[in-house]
Amino acid sequence: MRERFGLSLLFAWAGGLAKSLAERVKKGGPNLTSNTALVAILEKAKELDVPKEILERNIKRASEKGQESYKEKIYEVYGFGGVSIVVEVSTDKVNRSVAAVREVVKDYGGKMADPGSVMFKFRRARVVNIKVTDADKDQLLNIALDAGAEDVIEPSISEDDADEDKLESYYKVVSSPENYSAILSKLREEGIAFEPDNGSELLPITTIEVDDEAMDLNKELMSSLLDLDDVDAVYTDQE
């Protein structure tokens, strides 16, 4: 599943987890024995197969002094097959981060886009992620929409997807900031397990379907971008 809908889901979630990890470490420290909130985040990362080295890197960075000097930056990229990619960065040295992003994009055959060339294809929203095995589709639609959700995005499941990948796919409940808390409360009341965002996610306004070759090339590019020390999240409009 991650090769289709999961591309956007995996990288967005990995970025969200990075930010959440930083928050948990700053508040409770990196000790897993005393910081139970951090343990919960690491368990979720394990479910999503986030590489161990990425988690260790973010814990180390969050433990360092001088975090207040970090700046948030966004870089826009053209991928393969007409796909657009947005890279969110948290850095204390902007020149270093942009050089690293440019190098990866060049090495993997992508192209840097001018500011604004890609971002208009996305919108920022509050999102609740719910595993398909944790909710009945019709029940979820009724609950979410009654609670004020703007939309419920279903995962794009292909007949070629493995059964285990289908079980790891997620519904995305999209909300305005004003209704977000009400939706979370309603889901709790109904006993539906969910994963909240970490402030917001970027969602593609429309998605693009590409062939298998472009899909694999985009996955390699995005994976390598996410491996960079300063990168927090990578989003795509690839279906």
pLDDT in tens, 35-74: 777 777 777 777 666 667 777 777 777 776 555 567 889 9
Whether 89 is in a domain gets the answer no
Instruction: Write down the pTM of the prediction.
Output: 0.71
CATH number of the domain that residue 134 is part of: 3.30.70.980
Give yes or no for a contact between 85 and 77, defined as CB atoms under 8 angstroms apart.
yes
Whether 154 is in a domain gets the answer yes
* C-alpha closest to that of 187 among 153, 146, 143: 143
The string of pLDDT tens digits covering residues 123-178 is 988 888 888 888 888 999 999 999 999 999 887 765 555 555 556 688 889 998 88
The string of pLDDT tens digits covering residues 88-129 is 888 888 999 999 999 999 999 999 999 999 999 999 888 888
Domain that holds residue 186: 121-203
Whether 77 is in a domain gets the answer no
The domain tally of the chain equals 1
Whether 138 is in a domain gets the answer yes
Whether 130 is in a domain gets the answer yes
> For a pLDDT cut of 70, what percent of the chain falls above it?
80
Whether 106 is in a domain gets the answer no
Say how far residue 165 (Cα) sits from the centre of its chain. 17
Whether 21 is in a domain gets the answer no
* C-alpha closest to that of 140 among 27, 96, 131: 131
Whether 239 is in a domain gets the answer no
